[in-house]
Amino acid sequence: MEAETLEASTRDIISWFDRVSTNAGVVQRETLRRIIELNHGVEYLKKWLGDIDVKEMDECEIESLYTSLVPLVSHADLEPYIQRIADGNTSPILTQHPITTLSLSSGTTEGRQKFVPFTSHSSQTTLQIFRLAAAYRSRVYPTRDGGRILEFIYSSKSFKTKGGLTAGTATTHYYASEEFKIKQEKTKAFTCSPPEVISSGDYKQTTYCHLLLGLFFRDQVEFITSTFAYSVVQAFASFEELWKEICKDIKEGNVSSRITIPKVRKAVLDIVKPNPILASKIEAVCGDLQGSDWYGLIPKLWPNAKYVYSIMTGSMQPYLKKLRHHAGSLPLVSAEYGSTESWIGVNLDPSLPPENVTFTVMPTFSYFEFIPLYRQNQDSSSGSVDFIEDEPVPLSQVKVGQEYEIVLTTFTGLYRYRLGDVVEVSGFHNGTPKLNFICRRKLILAVNIDKNTEKDLQLVVERGSELLSNHRAELVDFTSSAELVRQPGHYVIYWEIKGEVEERVLFECCREMDASFVDHGYVVSRRTNSIGPLELCIVERGTFKKILDHFIGKGAALSQFKTPRCTSDRMLLRILDLCTVKRVRSTAYD
């Protein structure tokens, strides 16, 4: 009965998605109708639509009326409305259903955290997309029913807003929701760690316990996961330091004194029992692994794991190399595409390498529009516009090969909200587009007429750091800033490196990076010295951990953490500068 239920539920969700994706255009218009009907009369919609009642209108009319009367907005435009909700105003401002929870998102701005409404719809769609993705994964990589998942997941501390609403990251709300439990039951795969560990609020203690319990349940672990790949990389970097202590705990059925939170200690102690045989097995494996720089750590420690599953695209791509090192021969499955504002697309082809993964848009989750983006003529001298935009089009009208910015209308009260992500349509699944994630829209590095996105920077760093591997060193993490105080302004790239590298090599890396920025504005400015030579700063080991701590201290959660790839944040620059141990300047244009 149980096994049949899993099979049936897998079949059901796949055939549901086949249905809605086949009729995606129609489903999108129905979704828009539902959102507007559900929120008929709310202050924000009234402002733009007046008293128009859409009940008597057909879906095409609603769509054209809505897109002609309601303006495109960014988070800043909606902030005053969201702030009133946060302050306790319970009148229908953005939604008819009162909003009791707010999420913190980093989606479109950096540095400053933003509130986004969170409702039960948010958790329900999370459950639905996870179940759908699990169904497709199980076709390629079947797992055993009742197995375990080693999940590196972390809740942040929730707090109350002035008006008494609960605020925290979206993942925090999800882990605390009923849907998180339902997902485990529906997919017949159970997380290794109890809720007390996930919600401890101290990411170091949580990581330790995840590792300890993951190893305690070693033979049952079917796959390893985290929201963003960074957390898996971070957890195994800690494991290299912690493994002896973890083995001791498994041997004695104990938990290290570094776990100081009483309810976490108790929850873990209720689970671990002394297992000296398992402990010595793990010790032996770790002894061997140390000799091979921990290559293939995951399959060697978790022999029944079928894959590693996490977001590996976009700003997570720089961690792929390390992840592949730890995963050895185990497949890497790139996880879904979404944001605190809404889930967007699902990975229906888990066997694809992360570099080629596409995300199939979920046409029932939100109403999506797409702003066509055209890369600007490379020799334009306008420093402020990165792309030329055309009029937004609905999902049914997107074209393969075209780049777009995504616009969302959600069940949670965001209307024609620019998400700030750039995607490219790579094809269709039935009638719904498949997207490549390209980058965040915002330019991150610019001094004058130069324009570089996160993706541009990533490629440059990739080129520069290739040289490190010839010297048995590796890049741990990186960020950058545009130094504008001293003239001429120039880019500064900060690297944390594992291994010793001679200064001569660093000069070469720096030169290579400087020469690899292909943006015409940059090249011209460098030639004329209106942008100075690129500066490479090497920071001491552990600096990016300090940066992580800084963000966690400000309420971020490890589950959603993304290293800022460019910063003008004074505190962050202070940490980076204090930790800089070596500086070199490029000679590329001398």
Choices 104-112, 139-147, 280-288, 444-452 (CB under 6 A): range interacting with ligand AMP: 104-112
Is 312 within 8 Å of 320 (Cβ atoms)?
A: yes
Residue nearest to ligand AMP (CB): 314
Smallest separation (angstroms) from ligand AMP to the CB of 206: 18
Alpha helices by DSSP H, listed for 39-90, are 43-49, 59-69, 75-86
DSSP line for 337-403: EE-SS-EEEE---TTS-GGG--EEE-TTTSEEEEEEEEE--TT---SS-SEEE---EEGGG--TT-E
Q: Please tell me whether residue 106 binds ligand AMP under the rule CB under 6 A.
A: yes
Strand-by-strand arrangement of the 166-169 sheet: 114-118, 101-105, 166-169, 159-160
Type of residue found at 161: T
Closest to 211 (Cα-Cα) out of 228, 176, 236, 184: 236
Binding ligand AMP (rule: CB under 6 A), the pick from 101, 123, 313, 452 is: 313
Smallest separation (angstroms) from ligand AMP to the CB of 541: 27
Q: Please tell me whether residue 107 binds ligand AMP under the rule CB under 6 A.
A: yes
Smallest separation (angstroms) from ligand AMP to the CB of 578: 27
Would you say 226 or 586 has its CB closer to ligand AMP? Answer: 226
Q: Please tell me whether residue 172 binds ligand AMP under the rule CB under 6 A.
A: no
- Count residues contacting ligand AMP (CB under 6 A)? 16
d(CA 291, CA 115): 47
Q: Which of residues 532-571 bind ligand AMP (CB under 6 A)?
A: 560
DSSP line for 412-471: TS--SEEEEEEEEEEEEETTEEEEEEEEESS--B-SSS--B-HHHHHHHHHHHHHHHHTT
Residue whose tokens read 């985290």: 226
Binding ligand AMP (rule: CB under 6 A), the pick from 212, 414, 419, 537 is: 419
Smallest separation (angstroms) from ligand AMP to the CB of 59: 28
Is 284 within 8 Å of 300 (Cβ atoms)?
A: no
Would you say 35 or 419 has its CB closer to ligand AMP? Answer: 419
Binding ligand AMP (rule: CB under 6 A), the pick from 440, 490, 526, 565 is: 440
Q: Please tell me whether residue 421 binds ligand AMP under the rule CB under 6 A.
A: yes
Would you say 75 or 265 has its CB closer to ligand AMP? Answer: 75
Closest to 85 (Cα-Cα) out of 102, 68, 70, 71: 102
Q: Please tell me whether residue 337 binds ligand AMP under the rule CB under 6 A.
A: yes
Q: Please tell me whether residue 437 binds ligand AMP under the rule CB under 6 A.
A: yes
Binding ligand AMP (rule: CB under 6 A), the pick from 340, 364, 465, 481 is: 340
Cα 585 → chain centroid: 32
Q: Which of residues 202-261 bind ligand AMP (CB under 6 A)?
A: none
Binding ligand AMP (rule: CB under 6 A), the pick from 133, 215, 308, 311 is: 311
Would you say 294 or 343 has its CB closer to ligand AMP? Answer: 343
Binding ligand AMP (rule: CB under 6 A), the pick from 296, 314, 331, 555 is: 314
Query: Rounded to 5 degrees, what are φ and ψ at 372?
Result: -65, 135
Q: How many residues comprise the chain? A: 590
Q: Please tell me whether residue 338 binds ligand AMP under the rule CB under 6 A.
A: yes
Q: With H, G, I as helix, E, B as strand and everything else as coil, classify residue 479.
A: strand
Q: Please tell me whether residue 364 binds ligand AMP under the rule CB under 6 A.
A: no
**130: its two tokens:** 């996870």
Interface residue list for ligand AMP (CB under 6 A): 105-107, 311, 313-314, 336-340, 419, 421, 437, 440, 560
